[in-house]
C-alpha cells in the first residue's frame, strides 16, 4: 500500500489562511509549481532558503509514494516589475553593467544557480522551463484574455483589465487580502502609466522601445512578455488549468501570485491552484539582508568562509541543517552563534546514526519505536514541520544512546525500523547528504589507486616500462593524475 494512504497530510493554504487536509486532484499524483529564479545575478541566500523548503516538500511527497511533477521555471526575460521605464528591466540593467549580451547574462547566472543548488544537495525539478522558451504560449494566452474581455491593447502593449475582472464577479486581491480601492493609492507616475485605463492594471505584453534588447514579434508589434504572464503560461502548460500546489517566497504573494490568480480565473473561469504556499524571509544577525546596508552574503561565501560575518566556513550539510530548524513559514535568522550551534547539533545526529550500526539486538524491546516513527510522520504531516521532525530525530538519537549504554533494549526488528526511519528522514526527506557513505567510497578509491601505484613502482623496478606507462595512462583516462617526485608518487582527482 502506498504510504500516503496511511498518513494524513495538512497544508497551510495562503488563500484560505488555514491548514487544510491535503487532497490532490488526481489520486496518487501531484502537480507542483514553484517560481524559480530571475537569472540576472547570483542566487542569494533568501532564494536558497525558499527553494530548500520546496525541495524538502518535494522529497516528502515522494517519500509518501506520491508521483510528483515538480515544475520550477527560469525567468530569463521580461522581468519588468513596475510596467514602466524599460531601464528598470533587470536584464537590460545587468547587460549594460557587465557589457554582455542578455543571453550571456542568462547563461552565466543559470549555471551559478544550478551549481549552488547542487552544492546544497537539491533534487532537480521534473521540468525546468524558461520564459524565452514559451513566448508563443504567452502570446496565445494574451490574445485569449483580449478575446474574453479581460485585457486591452494600448500603443503596442497589452494590459490586464483589473476593473473588468472585478465587475465580472471575481476578486482581485483575494490571495493577498488587499482592497482594490487601496491597492494603488500611492501609485507613482511611471512611463507607460498613461497607456492604462486604471493604475491597477498590469502588463501582459510590453511594447519594446528602441532601447530594449530582448524583443519578439507579436500581433501587437515587437515586445516582450509581462513577468506575471510567464508563470501562468508555463504552469498551465505542464500541470493543467488547475493544479495542486503553487509555491514561492512571501514577497511574490503580491503582485506576482495575485496576478497569476487573476489570469488563471479570467482564462478558465476557476481558480488555477488549490493550495498556495509561501515561505518566510531570511535575516542575518537580526537584520534584513541587503546589499545597500552591507548586511549581505552569498551562499557559497558562507560555505568557503570568505566573508566577515562568520568565524569559519560551514559545510553545505550544516547550512542545510540550520535552515531546516526553522519552519518554512517562520522568519529564519542566521548568525555565527546559530551556525555553530547547528554544527554541534548536526554532529550529534550524525554520531548517533554511526553508533546505530554497532548496536546489539536483544530478545525484547523496551522502547516503543513504532510510536516514535509515527511522531516523525506526524511532524511532517503538520504542514511540513521540519523543526518538530528534527526534535523527534534527536529523540531517536537518545534511544540509540540508551541502548548503547545498556539501559534499554531493542529487538533486531526494532533496530531495523529505527535505522530505516532515521535514514529515511535524515537523508531522503531532509536531504542531508550522507557524507559517511561518500567518505567511505573515497577511501576505497584511494586504496585502489595506492595499490595500482605500488604495482607501477614494482613494474618500474623490474624495468617493465610498458606496464608502468599503461597504469599511468589508464588512470589518467579516468581523470586520476599521477605525479612522480623525489618523495614518491602522489595522485590527484
Q: Which residues pair with 491 in a beta bridge?
A: 482
Please give the full DSSP string across 420-471, using - where no structure is assigned.
Answer: HHHHIIIIIIS----HHHHHHHHHHHHHHHHHHHHHHHHHHHTT-HHHHHHH
For residue 440, is pLDDT > 70? no
Percent of the chain with pLDDT over 90: 74
Gap between the Cα atoms of 318 and 312, Å rounded: 12
Query: Which whole-number Å values give the CA distances from 289 to 172, 179, 311, 333, in the listed order?
Result: 31, 29, 18, 10
- Cell numbers linked to 67: 508521483
Per the listing, cell 503582485 goes with 255
Gap between the Cα atoms of 265 and 275, Å rounded: 15
Rounded to the nearest integer, the mean pLDDT of the chain is 91
Dump pLDDT digits (tens) for 130-181. Answer: 999 999 999 999 999 999 999 999 999 999 999 999 999 999 999 999 887 6
Strands 481-485 and 488-492: antiparallel
Please say whether the dihedral angle defined by the alpha carbons of residues 7, 12, 16 and 18, taken in this order, is positive or negative. Answer: positive
Residues 26, 239 contacting (CB under 8 angstroms):
no
Instruction: Please work out, in degrees rounded to the nearest 5, the angle formed at the alpha carbon of residue 50 by the alpha carbons of 47 and 51.
Output: 85
pLDDT of the residue at 183: 58
Gap between the Cα atoms of 81 and 89, Å rounded: 8
For residue 476, is pLDDT > 60? yes
| Prior bond of 413 cis (ω within 30°) | no
Gap between the Cα atoms of 141 and 135, Å rounded: 10
Gap between the Cα atoms of 397 and 412, Å rounded: 17
For residue 261, is pLDDT > 80? yes
Three-state SS for 31?
strand
User: b vs e for 192-203, b when ≥16 Cβ sit within 10 Å of the residue's Cβ?
Assistant: bbebbeebbbbb
Task: Classify residue 393 by burial, with Cβ atoms within 10 Å: 0-12, 13-18, 19+.
Answer: buried
Q: What is the phi-psi region of residue 333: left when phi exceeds 0, alpha when psi lies from -120 to 50, beta otherwise? A: beta
Q: H/E element holding 32?
A: strand 29-34
Gap between the Cα atoms of 288 and 282, Å rounded: 7
Dump pLDDT digits (tens) for 321-332. Answer: 999 999 999 999
- Cell numbers linked to 91: 536584464
pTM for the full predicted model: 0.86
Amino acid at each position: 500500500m502506498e504510504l500516503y494512504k496511511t498518513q494524513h497530510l495538512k497544508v497551510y493554504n495562503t488563500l484560505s489562511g488555514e491548514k487544510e487536509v491535503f487532497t490532490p486532484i488526481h489520486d496518487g499524483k501531484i502537480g507542483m509549481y514553484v517560481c524559480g529564479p530571475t537569472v540576472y545575478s547570483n542566487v542569494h541566500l533568501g532564494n536558497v532558503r525558499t527553494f530548500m523548503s520546496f525541495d524538502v516538500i518535494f522529497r516528502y511527497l515522494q517519500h509518501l509514494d506520491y508521483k510528483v511533477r515538480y515544475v520550477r521555471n527560469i525567468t530569463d526575460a521580461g522581468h519588468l516589475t513596475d510596467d514602466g521605464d524599460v531601464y528598470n528591466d533587470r536584464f537590460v540593467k545587468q547587460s549594460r553593467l557587465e557589457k554582455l549580451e542578455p543571453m550571456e547574462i542568462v547563461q552565466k547566472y543559470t549555471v551559478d544557480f544550478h551549481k549552488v543548488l547542487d552544492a546544497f544537495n537539491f533534487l532537480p525539478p521534473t521540468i525546468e522551463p524558461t520564459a524565452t522558451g514559451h513566448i508563443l504560449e504567452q502570446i496565445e494566452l494574451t490574445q485569449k484574455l483580449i478575446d474574453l474581455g479581460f485585457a486591452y491593447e494600448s500603443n503596442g502593449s497589452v494590459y490586464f483589465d483589473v476593473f473588468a475582472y472585478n465587475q465580472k464577479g471575481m476578486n482581485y486581491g483575494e490571495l493577498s487580502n488587499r482592497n482594490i480601492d487601496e491597492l494603488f493609492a500611492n501609485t507613482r507616475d511611471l512611463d507607460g502609466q498613461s497607456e492604462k485605463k486604471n493604475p491597477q492594471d498590469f502588463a501582459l505584453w510590453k511594447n519594446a522601445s528602441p532601447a530594449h534588447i530582448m524583443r519578439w514579434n507579436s500581433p501587437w508589434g515587437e515586445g516582450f512578455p509581462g513577468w506575471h504572464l510567464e508563470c501562468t503560461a508555463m504552469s498551465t502548460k505542464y500541470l493543467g488549468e488547475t493544479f495542486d500546489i503553487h509555491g514561492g517566497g512571501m514577497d511574490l504573494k503580491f503582485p506576482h501570485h495575485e496576478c497569476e490568480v487573476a489570469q488563471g480565473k479570467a482564462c478558465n473561469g476557476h481558480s488555477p491552484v488549490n493550495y498556495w504556499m509561501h515561505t518566510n524571509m531570511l535575516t542575518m544577525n537580526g537584520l534584513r539582508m541587503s546589499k545597500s546596508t552591507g548586511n549581505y552574503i552569498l551562499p557559497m561565501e558562507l560555505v568557503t568562509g570568505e566573508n566577515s560575518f562568520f568565524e569559519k566556513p560551514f559545510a553545505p550539510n550544516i547550512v542545510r541543517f540550520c535552515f531546516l530548524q526553522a519552519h518554512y513559514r517562520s522568519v529564519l535568522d542566521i548568525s555565527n552563534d546559530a551556525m555553530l550551534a547547528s554544527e554541534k547539533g548536526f554532529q550529534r545526529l550524525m554520531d548517533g546514526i554511526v553508533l546505530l550500526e554497532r548496536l546489539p539486538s536483544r530478545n525484547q524491546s523496551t522502547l516503543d519505536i513504532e510510536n516514535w516513527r509515527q511522531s516523525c510522520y506526524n511532524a511532517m504531516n503538520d504542514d511540513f514541520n521540519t523543526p518538530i521532525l528534527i526534535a523527534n530525530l534527536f529523540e531517536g538519537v537518545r534511544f540509540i544512546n540508551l541502548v548503547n549504554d545498556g539501559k534499554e533494549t531493542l529487538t533486531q526488528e526494532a533496530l531495523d525500523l529505527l535505522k530505516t526511519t532515521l535514514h529515511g528522514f535524515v537523508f531522503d526527506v531532509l536531504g542531508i547528504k550522507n557524507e559517511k557513505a561518500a567518505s567511505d567510497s573515497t577511501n576505497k578509491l584511494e586504496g585502489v589507486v595506492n595499490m595500482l601505484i605500488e604495482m607501477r613502482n614494482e613494474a618500474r623496478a623490474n624495468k617493465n616500462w610498458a606496464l608502468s606507462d599503461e597504469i599511468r595512462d589508464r588512470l589518467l583516462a579516468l581523470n586520476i593524475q599521477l605525479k612522480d617526485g623525489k618523495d614518491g608518487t602522489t595522485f590527484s582527482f
